[in-house]
Amino acid sequence: MDPSGDTTCLLSESALMRKLFTSFILFLTLVLIHPVFAAEKTSTILVMGDSLSAGYGLKPEEGWVNLLRLRLQQQNLNYRVINASITGDTTQGGLARLPKALQREKPDIFILELGANDGLRGFDISLTRNNLNHMVELAHAGNAKVLLLGIQLPANYGRSFREKFRQIFADVANQQQIAFVPFFLKGVAETRDLMQADGIHPAAEAQPVILDNIWPVLQSLLTSTDNEA
């Protein structure tokens, strides 16, 4: 009987057991850790708008964008919401700053709420339409789904201009085949008690109504984004 042979055999068996144990630990780690990583994936919603989304005249927590954050949390939907809205912004201003915002945030969903100030300032209809189209195209190039929020002008702007302006948003939505809310201030702009003293900006009480106007359309994008994750 060769004692050295027994020792070699024992060493081989020991090495084999170590390899099997290491492989088992690695397998167990992958099984346990992978679902955690998957669950932690966070999608991004980028909102680009004007004072109507920036929360003009409101406390930071009162605006519809922050209420959206809260609703997503309450429904255990793993999204971060970036509000890139600026009071007084136009479609031209939004177009100028959108490329950097898309590069920085890499949104899964892009909510576009611009155009009101174009209309209030009497900008050329074709300019506003072209700017909106270009922004949608940039968002699509960044693989973001787009939700366009339409707006309407007050009656004192005249029926013809008001109708042409309203049609801009429908035209862009149809041309680009994107999600669309025709008038996201529905039930708000016509209700004096839901507007601030200036008659232009929605009050705090209006913000839940605004979110409810947007939510059903946005929800379909949330569902499709989750299914792709």
Cβ-contact 153, 162 below 8 angstroms = yes
Neighbours of 21 (CB within 10 A): 10
Catalytic residues: 51, 198, 201
Strand partners, 49: 113
Tokens representing 161 are 């201009």
C-alpha 53: how far from chain center: 13
| Residue partners of 96: CB distance under 8 A and separation at least 6 | none
Residue 29, both tokens: 């780690």
Tokens 């955690």 belong to which residue?
36
The residues that bridge with 171 in the sheet, in sequence order, are none
User: Is 201 within 8 Å of 195 (Cβ atoms)?
Assistant: yes
DSSP state of 18: H
Tell me how far apart the alpha carbons of residues 80 and 47 are, in angstroms, rounded to a whole number. Answer: 11
